[in-house]
Structures are given as structure tokens and as C-alpha cells.
Chain A
Amino acid sequence: MSGPNTNYDPVQVSALDEASVFDMRDAALAAINAAIDLAGLKEVRSSHVGDRSPLALANREIGALPPQARKDAGSRVGRARAAVAQAFEARQAVLEDEAQERMLLEERVDVTLPWDRHPMGARHPITMLSEKIADVFVGMGWEIAEGPLVEAEWLNFDALNLGPDHPARTMQDTFWVDPPEDHLVLRTHTSPVQARTMLTRKPPIYVACPGRVFRTDEYDATHSPVFHQVEGLVIDKGISMAHLRGALDHMLQALFGEGMRTRFRPSYFPFTEPSAEMDMVCFICHGSGQQDEGECRTCRGEGWIELGGCGIVNPRVLIACGVDPEVYSGFAFGFGIDRLLMFRHGVADMRDIFEGDIRFATPFGVEL
């Protein structure tokens, strides 16, 4: 920047006259508007806007003018520069927007390209269905009890009113740990968990026991030597079959929706008396047995689906497990989770559950 000019010649600063300033301004504005991209605008900046632009140079000369002229010229040049700067910024904004738009256009990708770099995992549907059932009971205020798979014979049988000569003891086709004199079995039901619960907790008891169980069944499309059960046990004062039915109806409504109900038929289990078979109304045809003007495929036209067994806990079981039958009564039920999975989710072959083909579990994801 040059210092104040004290010896000036007004003729020498004709660049500051009105016409000149307007010319410089108009030239600058024309150049700005003529710039078609940011690179062009950058050139305009140095020739018409920057420190070396005619208007900037003219501005330097203002100080050389006499005071009156200085004011006029100052305001004239100032207005011109402001107009140029404003036009420049406006043009820059427009060109930047254009550039951005162009870039976004150029960066377009094929969003249909698959991104399956890391395949999805999944939990086993049996695990998830067990948890879903458990959650229904937890929602009713119950707790979840568990126990060992290799179990004491006494807990699996004797404590549950299945004495050594009880026909049911062979009906259940038990896996025995060698030597059998050790009295260890692979549990044939989750009922020993009920016995353990009664032996270790004081009533009231409200528990559900999901878990893996074993029977020496052949392995085919509808049987497996390893399968899964959930059992429920309630011990409290004044418990009746009505409560049993209420709990089961509630569970079925939670799993299958409104309108689900049960049907009880007399049956026989050593650990319950009275004992019942429970059927659930078919969740597809709601009991009509009809589907798409034909026989319902889920219940085979029965309108009902066999679910499992239940009943009032036999007082002999209560006594063996230290519960006073004069004070308390209770109910118990049990049903197979594998079969429930099969009809709820359309699994045709039970072996799919255990073969571990990843195509079986993967579609079920991590939560049922």
C-alpha cells in the first residue's frame, strides 16, 4: 500500500472519475457473470476483485485527492467495489452449487449391488421359542427354573410317584447311565426340576421349566431321542383345575392371539391326579376344521391340536417333596416345544431341528 499522496495532481488521478469507476465496475461485473465455473471465477477474482484489480488500485489513489474529492471518490469507488464483491459472492455461490450438483451426479452408484460381505447369524428357533414361552410366564409373575440333564433316578421318577414298578417307568423308555446301579438317567422330562424346586423353595411356587429331555425314541420325521419341553408348576393355597386352565389359556393367547382356548380330556399321569390331556383349539381354523374350503391342514380337520398333559399335582408328590397337601394344592402341565415349533412355524421334519443346516435357523434371525 502506498502512503498518503501529498503532492497530487488531480489530472493524474482521472481513474477516479465517475465514468472510469463505472467502467471498471461494469467490466468486473461482466467478467464475474461470464465465469462459467469455479476455476474461471478464480481468474476473475485476481483480475477484477483482488488487490491487483483496477478498482483496488483506484482505491489506493483516493488518499491523493483533496479532501472534498476524496470523499466523493471514496464513496464512488466503495460502492463499485461493494457491488463487485457482492456479485462475486453470489456468482461463487451459484457456481459452487452447480459444482456440488455435478459431483453428486457423478458420484451416483448402483445401490442394488449386494452387500453380503458378512453373513447374518441366527439363534436356534427352539431357543427363541423357549424364551418366548418363558417370557409369557415371567409376565404372569412366574419364575423360570432349570436343572441338570443327567439326573438322579429318584428325582426323575420316585419323587414324582413313579415307583420302581410303575408301568410308566418303562413307557418312558429311559436312557440309563452305566452302571444302572448308579441310579443316574438322562432326564425323561423336565419334571425333576419341579421336584428340585419344591424341595428347595417354600410355597407359593410359580415356576415354568423349559429344557432339553431324552427318551430312547427312534429318530425320524416326527420323533427324536432328544427334544424339548416346557413344564409349569404352581403350588399355592386353593389352587384348582380352573387355575390350570386359566394359565394355559393365557399362554396360548400370548403365543397365538385372541380367542385361543383349551380342551381337557381325562388322562393318566402318575404325578398328577386328576390328570388331563390338553388340546388347544387350532390357531389356523379356530376349531372349524376347515381351511380354504377343504380340511384344515394344520389340525387335519380335527379343529383341535393335542398339546400335552396336565393335572393337579398328586398329593403323593407333594409329600415326597416336603409340601403339606393339607395346606397346599398345585397344578402342573407339560408340553413339547419341538412339536409346537413344528406346527406354529411350519417345520415339516423334526430332524431339521437337530441337523444344524444353517438354512434352517438363519431365516428365524435372533428373536422370534
Chain B
Amino acid sequence: MRAPLSWIKDYVALPDTLTIDELTDRLTALGLKLEAIHRADITGPLVVGRVLTMDPEPQKNGKTINWCTVDVGDANGTGEPQGIVCGAHNFKPGDLVVVILPGGVLPGDFVISARKTYGHVSAGMICSGRELGISDDHDGIIVLPTDAGVPGQDALPILGLDEEVIEFEINPDRAYAMSLRGVAREAALGFQVPFTDPALRDTPAGNGEGHPVSVEDPIGCPVFVTRSVTGFDPSAPTPTWMVRRLEQVGQRSISLAVDITNYVMFELGRPIHAYDADKLQGELVIRRAVGGESLKTLDGNVRALSEEDLVVTDASGIIGLGGVMGGESTEISDSTVNVLVEAAHWDATAMFRTGRRHKLTSEAGKRNERGVDPEICEAAADRVVELLVAHGGGSAGRGVTVVGQAPATAEIELEPALPQLISGMPISAEMTNAILQQVGCTTTSAGDRLKVWPPSWRPDLTDPYDLVEEVVRVVGYDDVPSVLPPAPAGLGLTQEQQWRRRLGRLLASTGHVEVISFPFVGTTDLDNLMLADDDPRRTTLRLANPLSSEEPLLATTLLPGLLKTAARNVSRGLEDLALFEIAQVAKGDRMGPTPILGVDQRPSEEELAGLTEAVPAQPLHAAVVLCGNEDRAGWWGSGRPANWSDGIEAMRMLADSLGLELEIAAADLAPWHPGRCAELRLAGEVVGHAGELHPRVCRNFGIPPRSVAAEIDASALEATAVAVPQAEVFSTYPVAKEDVALVVADSVTSAEVSSALREGAGPMCESIRLFDVYVGDQIEAGFKSLAFSLRFRAPDRTLTDAECAAARDSAVAVAVERLGARQRA
């Protein structure tokens, strides 16, 4: 919302000594946040010009430019017409326009000079509102009223660019501040000075002589007022001061009648609609649309209407989308001589829904959907009639139609101590009462309570806490003291939160770098992972409104994000990579709709259980991707490329840090190499996979061959993790070491041999560790030799050589019997 300082001052007697910074600081503290103070950011000659000639010249690029000569008086030093190329078409010879001459500087340090363009030397520019930084309007240049000035005259004061315009950010609950009336009221409140309400005017009462109106839906349209002006001169210009103010608030002048409705909207906050009365056919009926109806709105679009849309109809059918946009058939034109003015109050929710449904945002819509003062329809219509007659001639029609009446504001009961309790500031009951009256409320005491009726322009005030905010903002938010809240002793981080930190620290301290990926994936990503058609990771949730149609799915695995991140690093020349991510993934199984519960009381336990159970499972996953060297090459020797075992080891380490031991088994699952993929199990349940990536997956994602990946369900780990590890009991007697080398078939895994040895070695066996794998000349083809080191120790004595040998033999015996192993000579 832009508010020219001079316009604010029309309604509030601000102290002469007040600076604009003091004003905006105070208004910001009251809740009207300063966005910017606009001052003329223009230097050099900006003057009024009269278009003498304009010759349209079609260009090769399809555009048509106008080669114009413009009288700029003596402003160019010669008095000769100025030749200017202009791309806009919304003007004609004779019009007064705004010209910046060479040497001038427009906002954004845009230096104007005479330059050759489209075959002419263009000596300056005819300006649009956007070029001058006073509006976003770039559809055409500014055409000044014929009486705005004479060629060569300084245009800054004509456009109000010598004045300060304050731009506020208005919160959605303060719709009243989207008008000069509202801003000025806040200024008066802030400085405790008198306020002159521009909506306070004597208006004629409704009579039977106005345009016939019937409101069939008084909920959707509680008040509908019409006034009329006859004999209006459609060619009458908009007065310069009005054009200037409209430009200052960001609105381009269109025609006198339209400008007046806009002006009154900014002045009072009440959107107004004006009809060409001669195009109306009989009674206006306000009702909801019925299915199948449509309307061609002012913007030229034909809109299919919903049964929720409020429409204005006459005998010809629908002529407007109430409160949102008028129809083409009855709009004001340059031949309109009889005007019907409509000022109606519309239901804010209906306005919001209609605006959203038809994707219509307009200055009128913004105000109607946030809530307009319902009591000023008559005043607003009267003000429009006054301005139409004053500037366009004609006379006000006698007829005044007033249908319905403004809904009364509901009373709020306030405990007078509430502002003090909620703000933590000493605010007495008297102060509360006084402030509420200052903001426009009516109050009476009722026992120990205060009864409060908010003013008609504050539909946002409905609860006691709303009134608290009013009191506190006037007292001053910034005076709220700082007091530490008295929290009871807490339990610290939960075990799961600590574990999660542990996983991250562990991966980082072992050389992995954490990344955060967007959880959005596409079918292409899943195809690139070579996932089978029935792979559960293809069961995903889909977004109804994804940012990119390429990635509409929610990730069920962290790998696509990690692999794409890896590829990005590789493409930037970072080829030795160890990346990890710990994040929730979303399971795609549809759980049925989650209910929308009531909000008037706590839902029942059953309702809540139904709600939370319908939210899809989102387990925490941890994943790593390794590319290139795990150990770099250097002066110490060659590097060591990451291999399948590094992926498994990373996962094993994670489990180990939670006191868990993973069971590792061979598996064949995409996106891994079918012979180099491990399944990670916990108590028999598969919780993850690790290994070398399938060569085609590496190609698909653009990462080096033999890259490694691993992914594990960290939630599953946490579910069985050891919260309170117990101390080991260990013997201090000497250790006895025995090594065995066993030859087994290739198909036998080291885990099988190790577990056979473990079983046979008996209780004195402290550890079994594989220290060598040999395949080669000394072993027949199809077999391998596995060398294990066994350590034995007793809790209570030194073991004898014979005892150790016996345990060792017994261990070997199990391997021999179960796996066909033989001891290597």
C-alpha cells in the first residue's frame, strides 16, 4: 500500500515538526511496516511535452514504433520540436505526455542521451509509470490531463514526484490500512492528534426511486447501494491532482469515471463498481451462479462460473462477478453519459474463493477478500457521485437504492487484566479501556469484565486476544521486558536424537562429507537405478504440484540425490568423493485420506490415532556414495580406490556405533553389481544394502565406474540399538594364538567358515580373525585358501599347549565336516 504524505495529511493534523522518519517509525511500531519511502529518484529535465506528430513505422522485428515530434517548449534550449522514438501506442497527437530529455537520469541510474535507434535519432524518452518508478505499469506511457500544464513545464510536481510517498507492507488482518482513511487513522492514533474521517458524510437515505435491486443471497451480499449520475461528459478529463495521486499510489489514469472509482477505493478502502446505466436491462439481481453459467469479464476472458460465485445479473443475464470483476457488456466506455454507481459489501470468504478459483487478483479483490468496512457503502457511493458531478458534469440522480444493512459487530468480553498478563507489561484496566476506545471500539464495564464492540472497519477483531494485541501495540511492543521463562528441568536430547548425531559424526570423522538433497525424484531416476518394476522403492508418493514435472515423486531412497550430487562434484573436477546423507524418506504406500478434524475441541484419541496412522511411514535412512580413491596416491605410494567393501564397512561401523552387529550376506539388488552386493541384516531382517554399483548405473548417473554405494534404514537400527552398553569381563591370563589356513571351494563364504570355526573353537576362543585370502598356483582352480588367526584365553588360568591345540583341532573339524574344508599344508 502506497500512501502519499500529502494525502495522509488531508485527514490528520500531524505536528509540523514531525519528520517522515519519525512518522514511519511510529507507524511501523503500530504494525504498518515501512517498506520504502519513495522520492523522486529522477534528475535532469523531466518536462511536460505535447505530441505534435506520430508516425507509426513497422519494424522488421514485428514491432511497430512511433516516430514522434514533441513540443517541449524551451526545455531543450532551442524551442524546436524534439524527435523521439516511442514504442507505446496509447496516445495520439495533441496529448500531453511526460518527456525526459537527454542528460536526465531515471531510477536505476538509467542515463538518457540522444541515441540512434530504428533509423532515427531519438532525443529523449516519453515515459511510462514504471520507468519513473511510480508504478508497475508498463502497458503504456503516461498521458496527462489536457489542463495538466504547458509544454516545457517541470513534470515532477505534476506527477507528485516532488512529494514523499510511503509504501507500507500491510498484514492480512489490517485490511482497513489499505486505504488512506486507515493509514491516517493509525497516524492519528500514533501521535494522539485529531483525525477527520473522510467517510463521515451526510448521505441521502434510500428511497424507492433508485435502480431496482434484489439481493437473493444476503449472506454473500449483506449491503448493496446504488446511486446514479445522468448527463455525464465521458470526454471530461481527470483533474491533474487526481491523476497525480493515482500515479502516486501506483494506479494509471484511464478515464474520469474509472479514475474516480479507483480514487475513492484508495481514499476509503471501499471498492466501487460503475455501470453504463444505458446498457443495464432492468432490475439487478444478486445471487449465486448456477452450474454451467459463464461470464466475459472486463479483461476479455470468458469464465465458467461455480455455484459458489456471487454474480450480479440483469434481464440480459450475468453482468458481473460480484466484488471481483465486472462484465464487458455493461462497462463504462468513452460514450457513457449515464452512470450507475454500485457500492456493495460482499462476504470476504466468498470473495477469497472466487478470486482464487478464477485466479483474479485486483486492488478491489484484495480489499474485498480481507474485509472492508461494511458501513461505508453509502458514503463511498455518495463520494463517487460527488466527484463525478464535480469533474464530469451531469447531475446526481434522485434515486438512492439501499438494500440490506451492515452486519453488527459481535461483542467481545475482555478480562481487563489480560493485556497485562499476556504482555508482561504493567497495563492497567483504565489504560486498556482508554486504548480500546482510541482504536475505535465502544466499551462498557460489566462487573469485572469489559464489554467491547469493535468498530465497523475492524472485522479482524473477534477474540479477547485480538484486543490484547491492539492494546499492546499502542503501549509499544518494544517495551515488552525480557524475562527468561521458568522451564522445569528437562531430560536433554532423546536417545534417538543422540544416536542420530552419533551416526553423522562417525561418518564425517571417517572421511565422509554430508550433503542435503531435495527429496524430489522422477521416474527417470528410478529407471537409472535399474530398479525392477516391482521394486518397493518404485512405490512413491506423488506431488500434485511439483516444482518440476521431471521430478514429481517423493524419494523412497536417498541414492538418487546422492548420485546426482556425486555427479555434480565429479563434473566440477572433484573426483575422489565420499558423500553421505541422513534423512527421512517417504514410503509410498497409500494409507487412505487423512481426516480433516474439527478445531473447536481436542479430537478424540480415536480420531487422532486415525489421523497419525494415515500419515505415511517416513523412516530415517543413512546412505553413502564413494567415487574414486578412498586413500589418495601420494609420496607414500599409490592410492587405493574405494571398493565394495568400503561401502559395507561404513554401514558396519554405523551399526557398531549403536552396539549392533550386522549380518552380511550376498544379495543381488539394483542399483548394485549383482556379484558385489551385500544384504545387511539385523536379527534376520534386511535393513540395508551395500556394495559396488552396477556399471550401467554409474554410466546413467555420470559417475566413475566402480563407484560404491550403501543405504541403511537407520530407524531400524535405532529400534534395536543398545542404549546402555555393559562392560566386558576380561581375563588377565596370557593369550594363546593359533593360526589355521583352510582350503574351501570358491562358493563357500568367509562368513560361513568363520562361523564354523567359532562354533568348533569352544568357549576359550576369544576371537577369530581372517587375515589372508589366497587364490593362485598353489591351490587348485575353484578353491581358495582362507587364513585365520584364533586367540584363546581362559578366565581363570593359563591354557596349556595341549588345550589350545585341541580347541583349534575341534574348530577345524567343524569346518571340515560342514564345509568340506581341508587344512592347507
A176 within 8 Å of B by Cβ? Answer: yes
User: Across the interface, which residues of A come within 8 angstroms of B493, CB to CB?
Assistant: 134, 138, 143-144
On whether A165 and B352 interact (CB within 8 A), knowing A118-B631, A265-B33, the answer reads yes
Q: From the candidates B422, B463, B594, name the one contacting A152 in the complex (CB within 8 A).
A: B594
On whether A119 and B576 interact (CB within 8 A), knowing A199-B608, A240-B422, A329-B422, the answer reads yes
B518 within 8 Å of A by Cβ? Answer: yes
Contact B602–A321 (Cβ < 8 Å): yes
A114 to B632, CA, bound (A): 12
Q: Mark B434-478, 1 if CB is under 8 A from A, else 0.
A: 000000000000000000000000000001111011001100011
Chain A residue, CB-CB nearest to B511: A121
Contact B424–A206 (Cβ < 8 Å): no
User: Across the interface, which residues of B come within 8 angstroms of A35, CB to CB?
Assistant: none
Q: From the candidates A181, A196, A204, A316, name the one contacting B599 in the complex (CB within 8 A).
A: A316
Q: Mark B502-519, 1 if CB is under 8 A from A, else 0.
A: 001101111111111111
User: Across the interface, which residues of A come within 8 angstroms of B569, CB to CB?
Assistant: 356-358
Interface residues of B in 547-597 (CB under 8 A from A): 547, 552, 554, 565, 568-569, 572, 574, 576-580, 583-584, 586, 590, 592-597
B373 within 8 Å of A by Cβ? Answer: no
CB distance from A97 to the nearest CB of B (A): 32
On whether A357 and B568 interact (CB within 8 A), knowing A277-B33, A315-B465, the answer reads yes
A181 to B596, CA, bound (A): 10
Binds A, one of B59-67, B150-158, B169-177, B767-775: B169-177
A171 to B489, CA, bound (A): 38
User: Across the interface, which residues of B come within 8 angstroms of A116, CB to CB?
Assistant: 632, 634
Interface residues of B in 494-538 (CB under 8 A from A): 494, 497, 501, 504-505, 507-519
Chain B residue, CB-CB nearest to A248: B482
A276 within 8 Å of B by Cβ? Answer: yes
Q: From the candidates B30, B508, B615, name the one contacting A266 in the complex (CB within 8 A).
A: B30
A355 within 8 Å of B by Cβ? Answer: yes
A356 to B172, CA, bound (A): 38
User: Across the interface, which residues of A come within 8 angstroms of B600, CB to CB?
Assistant: 319-320
Q: Is the interface of A mostly helix, strand, loop or mixed?
A: mixed
Q: Mark B200-223, 1 if CB is under 8 A from A, else 0.
A: 000000000000000000000000
CB distance from B516 to the nearest CB of A (A): 5
A151 to B636, CA, bound (A): 53
On whether A121 and B578 interact (CB within 8 A), knowing A154-B596, A206-B487, the answer reads yes
Chain A interface residue bracket vs B: 35 or more
A180 within 8 Å of B by Cβ? Answer: yes
User: Across the interface, which residues of A come within 8 angstroms of B545, CB to CB?
Assistant: 175-176, 216
Contact B424–A366 (Cβ < 8 Å): no
Contact B568–A245 (Cβ < 8 Å): no
A183 to B615, CA, bound (A): 10
CB distance from A203 to the nearest CB of B (A): 10
CB distance from B25 to the nearest CB of A (A): 10
On whether A144 and B494 interact (CB within 8 A), knowing A120-B511, A362-B513, the answer reads yes
Contact B482–A265 (Cβ < 8 Å): no
A19 to B408, CA, bound (A): 139
CB distance from A70 to the nearest CB of B (A): 51
Interface residues of B in 714-747 (CB under 8 A from A): none
Q: From the candidates B488, B543, B547, B601, name the one contacting A178 in the complex (CB within 8 A).
A: B543
B353 within 8 Å of A by Cβ? Answer: yes
Contact A184–B508 (Cβ < 8 Å): no
On whether A245 and B507 interact (CB within 8 A), knowing A238-B421, A357-B572, the answer reads no
User: Across the interface, which residues of B come within 8 angstroms of A219, CB to CB?
Assistant: 547
CB distance from B91 to the nearest CB of A (A): 36
Q: From the candidates A140, A236, A268, A356, name the one contacting B484 in the complex (CB within 8 A).
A: A140
On whether A141 and B171 interact (CB within 8 A), knowing A121-B512, A321-B602, A358-B574, the answer reads no
Q: Mark A135-150, 1 if CB is under 8 A from B, else 0.
A: 0001011111010111
User: Across the interface, which residues of B come within 8 angstroms of A117, CB to CB?
Assistant: 631-632, 634, 636
Contact A322–B602 (Cβ < 8 Å): yes
B618 within 8 Å of A by Cβ? Answer: yes
A355 to B631, CA, bound (A): 24
A151 to B554, CA, bound (A): 13
CB distance from B622 to the nearest CB of A (A): 13
Interface residues of A in 193-244 (CB under 8 A from B): 196, 199, 204, 206, 212, 216, 219, 225-226, 234, 236, 238-244
On whether A236 and B541 interact (CB within 8 A), knowing A184-B616, A277-B33, A316-B599, the answer reads no
Contact A124–B515 (Cβ < 8 Å): yes
A285 to B424, CA, bound (A): 29
B29 within 8 Å of A by Cβ? Answer: yes
On whether A329 and B421 interact (CB within 8 A), knowing A122-B508, A158-B597, A234-B485, the answer reads yes
Contact A273–B469 (Cβ < 8 Å): yes
A180 to B519, CA, bound (A): 19
Interface residues of A in 229-273 (CB under 8 A from B): 234, 236, 238-247, 249-250, 261-268, 273
Contact B490–A142 (Cβ < 8 Å): yes
Contact B484–A250 (Cβ < 8 Å): yes
A17 within 8 Å of B by Cβ? Answer: no
A225 to B424, CA, bound (A): 37
B423 within 8 Å of A by Cβ? Answer: yes
Contact A236–B465 (Cβ < 8 Å): no
Contact B472–A241 (Cβ < 8 Å): yes
CB distance from A231 to the nearest CB of B (A): 15
Contact A242–B483 (Cβ < 8 Å): yes
Q: From the candidates A159, A206, A238, A362, name the one contacting B488 in the complex (CB within 8 A).
A: A206
Contact A183–B596 (Cβ < 8 Å): yes
CB distance from B657 to the nearest CB of A (A): 14
Q: From the candidates A182, A242, A312, A356, name the one contacting B482 in the complex (CB within 8 A).
A: A242
A212 to B555, CA, bound (A): 15
User: Across the interface, which residues of B come within 8 angstroms of A355, CB to CB?
Assistant: 565, 568
Chain B CB count within 10 A is highest, among A124, A165, A274, A329, for A274
Chain B CB count within 10 A is highest, among A124, A171, A234, for A124
Contact A159–B636 (Cβ < 8 Å): no
User: Across the interface, which residues of A come within 8 angstroms of B751, CB to CB?
Assistant: none
Contact B513–A121 (Cβ < 8 Å): yes
Q: From the candidates B369, B480, B517, B596, name the one contacting A356 in the complex (CB within 8 A).
A: B517
Contact A127–B504 (Cβ < 8 Å): yes
A55 to B689, CA, bound (A): 79
Additional pairs, 7, CB under 8 Å, beyond known A241-B477, A361-B514, A365-B508: A121-B512, A144-B494, A152-B614, A183-B595, A183-B596, A243-B485, A265-B33
- Chain A to chain B: the 4 pairs with minimum beta-carbon distance, closest first: A242-B424, A322-B602, A266-B31, A356-B565
What are 24 A-B pairs with beta-carbon distances under 8 A? Answer: A119-B632, A121-B507, A121-B512, A138-B490, A141-B487, A141-B488, A143-B492, A143-B493, A148-B618, A175-B543, A177-B542, A184-B616, A240-B422, A241-B480, A242-B425, A243-B483, A266-B29, A273-B469, A312-B422, A316-B463, A329-B421, A356-B568, A358-B513, A365-B508
